[in-house]
Structure 1
């Protein structure tokens, strides 16, 4: 019996009475295209009638399953922390015979477009998905895993609170918080700041000073000078991450000030350079090894139809005490 010919996008276009480009726009949900609703519905009906699938989906059907996991990365800088999570997820998935594929969001390309082209066994994201997109993807049989760090015990508010509690425990009553100015990190920065501020109130400390820092020595010097003029009483500072903390250390040196005697500084992430900073940096460490492996196991379990209990781990956050605070 001759092998049935695979249905193509051209076949769909012919059946719907539209161009192949229109089919692509509809299936990929291409932004900024004014496709009439009746045209869109006609294309989708042709897709159903002809049982059209993409090349990747067709391959998945032939071999029984797709061994690819699509990780849609957030629009954040690729920090050491995020790189470490990716590394651990990759290694963990490999133990289950799965491969990780990384994708960045693109203004001209929708999540649905990426998913349709790749037909992955699972999709991972760390940001909230459109409810309609998530429903469509799940109903197709693709596993969706939201890589929520909070479910694992890594809560951004808790990180800020740990910094405040540590500084207060060292006798500091007037604190400041150095936020990052990068708009891509505004959500995480705001959550850590709120956790820090709320802890200060709970500990009956003074209202903390909030400062914006960029990753430059001149910017750090300017921010520190402004603080000394308006809040000279501040003796302890928490920072959004270790990179901002390093900028603070450099700014303090430029001003001829001493850390921790003039200002105690606590960072976040325990970046590799933190132990070599001058002075070595006190910081909050997030256990990205445990988190990455947890995500890999969760994805593999979901693909296998198993349920995995989301137990928060008590040791995913720890204070690494060095000489800066």
Structure 2
């Protein structure tokens, strides 16, 4: 079967044949090349033919010619794509799109054999949601990427996804409510082990500062939630610091099934302010994170590296706040 223009990529040569001009003329028009004496009538015919034939520029060739792909690659940790991370990526994507850049995400998996996207896409900037190891940083730079953020010698990563102020606010809120027998309810997901440990460390340090030593910790999932809550109630636990809102919802649900009153018998505070926390009954007190601000921060870091916009500053303290709801 003979290919037609509709069955393959339309090229500048197709437009030139359609209009009856040279390929150079088509290139001058489509690239808005300055200093050319092309009549308005010819220019209009070229643009009309390009639109009618469905011409799209060849991005790889355009990137090669300009030295820019206008692609930002955001490397995500191998975590479940939960609400907070989705919001960060969405907000970064919107801001970059407004600046004329496309955001692409990649999640390298341990043991994976796929060719890295920083090699295939030729992005202008690669940003890690978490800091890169020196070896990974060198690998990305050696692939030809001009800007990699953060550098291994950066004293601060581009953002702090542990949101250390969150666990501190969780503990302080429960203490203010008169709860001193506390437990940290973690996630059993091994992909989140480091993040859970980071949040637990802050919670335990805050508890110690208020005279509570050895903050208890337990992984909560759907199969053990009821047994754990029953054991906590028997041992006198009255306040739960949950790793996130999903864990908090499991605990509140288990408490209600056991006939316990929330918050009278057990007060629970979650983290992330996901939609679930507000629609759950009873609604769940939680930590609100400025995902929009963090997404904008990553986007502004990329724009600073590509076009020299002002370097953004990140201070997580005003980005994290407590939302008080029925569960406490």
Assess same fold via TM > 0.5.
yes
Alignment of 1:21-40 (within 5 A): none
Cα pair distance change 1:150/1:118, threshold 3 Å? closer
**Aligned match of 1:109:** 113
Q: Give RMSD over aligned pairs.
A: 2.4
Aligned ranges 1:113-262 → 2 under 5 Å: 113-138=116-141, 140-146=144-150, 152=159, 155-214=162-221, 216=222, 218-229=223-234, 232-262=235-265
Name the CA distance, whole Å, in 2 between partners of 1:306 and 1:242.
36
Change over 3 Å in CA distance of 1:150–1:142 after alignment to 2: closer
Would the aligned equivalents of 1:175 and 1:206 in 2 still touch at CA under 8 Å? no
Q: How does 1:228-307 map to 2 (within 5 A)?
A: 228-229=233-234, 232-306=235-309
In structure 2, C-alpha distance between the alignment counterparts of 1:63 and 1:75, rounded to whole Å: 33
- What SS does the corresponding residue of 2:180 show, helix, strand or coil? coil
Counterpart in the other structure of 1:312: 315
Contact 2:263 2:327 (C-alpha < 8 Å) held by counterparts: yes
Q: Which runs of 5+ in 2 are unaligned?
A: 1-57
Deviations 1:249-275 (A, max 9, x none): 110011111110000000001111211
> Alignment partner of 1:252: what SS?
helix
Aligned residues: 266
Deviation at 1:161, TM superposition (A): 1.4
Question: Aligned partners of 1:264, 1:119: CA distance in 2, in Å?
Answer: 50
CA distance in 2, matches of 1:236, 1:74: 31
The answer to whether structure 1 residue 77 and structure 2 residue 84 are counterparts is: no
Shift of 1:293: 0.9
SS at match of 2:112: coil
Residue aligning to 2:96: 93
Question: Aligned partners of 1:268, 1:297: CA distance in 2, in Å?
Answer: 26
- The range that moved more, 202-211 or 270-279, is 202-211
TM-score (normalizing by structure 2): 0.74
- Cα drift, residue 153 of structure 1: 6.2
- SS across alignment from 2:164: helix
CA drift at 1:128: 3.3
Unaligned runs of 5+ in 1: 1-54
3-state DSSP of counterpart to 1:234: coil
2:179 and 2:251 map into 1 onto residues whose CA distance is 18
Contact residue 123 and residue 145 of structure 2 kept, 8 A: no
* Larger Rg over CA atoms: 2
Q: Between 257-266 and 100-109, report the one with greater CA deviation.
A: 100-109
Rounded to whole Å, the distance in 1 between the matches of 2:157 and 2:66 is 36
The 3-state SS of whatever aligns with 2:270 is strand
- By how many angstroms is 1:152 displaced? 4.6
